Amino acid sequence: MACSHRTKGELADNAVERRLAEASDHCARVGQTWTPGRARIYDLLVRAERPIGAYELLQALSRPSYAAKPPTVYRALEFLVRVGLAHRIESLNAFVACDRHHGRSAIEFLICDCCGRAQECELEIDQTAFAAASARGFKPNRLVLEVHGVCPDCVG
């Protein structure tokens, strides 16, 4: 299904550069190395403004003079998720950039099945879910909630 607003939200180059600088600063604060390869993957995630899969990233990285390899992309994605700069959308097997650096163990997304955008939201249901799990003897370490539907732009 095509949506009229699909291409409306492109970020300006200065906004992307700001996000890259913030990501670099965040890595320095948490004692991690910000490499050109990680920066390039993060840049692609930020510019995508929707969940993007590893093989789509691989394709975007490859040029006639350089063929990116899957392990390179996966290692960069694992790093970005680990330091809180990206999230994995489990139901789509795709990734999105995160600029909140919240370090929360619960991640909630509203995913539009029409335009493909994923919006991170803070429903703060983790305490309730973790308490219920703990009451049953289960030791939770993270919660991922993905709500699929249609965003206001697609509904309107």
Confidence at residue 92, expressed as pLDDT on a 0 to 100 scale: 95
Confidence at residue 7, expressed as pLDDT on a 0 to 100 scale: 46
Selected from 3.40.50.1100, 3.40.50.720, 3.40.50.2300, 3.30.1490.190, the CATH number assigned to the domain covering 104-156 reads 3.30.1490.190
pTM across the whole model: 0.84
Q: Which residue has the higher pLDDT, 47 or 100?
A: 47
C-alpha distance from residue 103 to each of 9, 30, 99, 100, 117 (Å): 26, 11, 11, 8, 22
Whether 5 shows a pLDDT value over 70: the answer reads: no
Tell me the CATH number for domain 13-100. 1.10.10.10
Whether 96 shows a pLDDT value over 60: the answer reads: yes
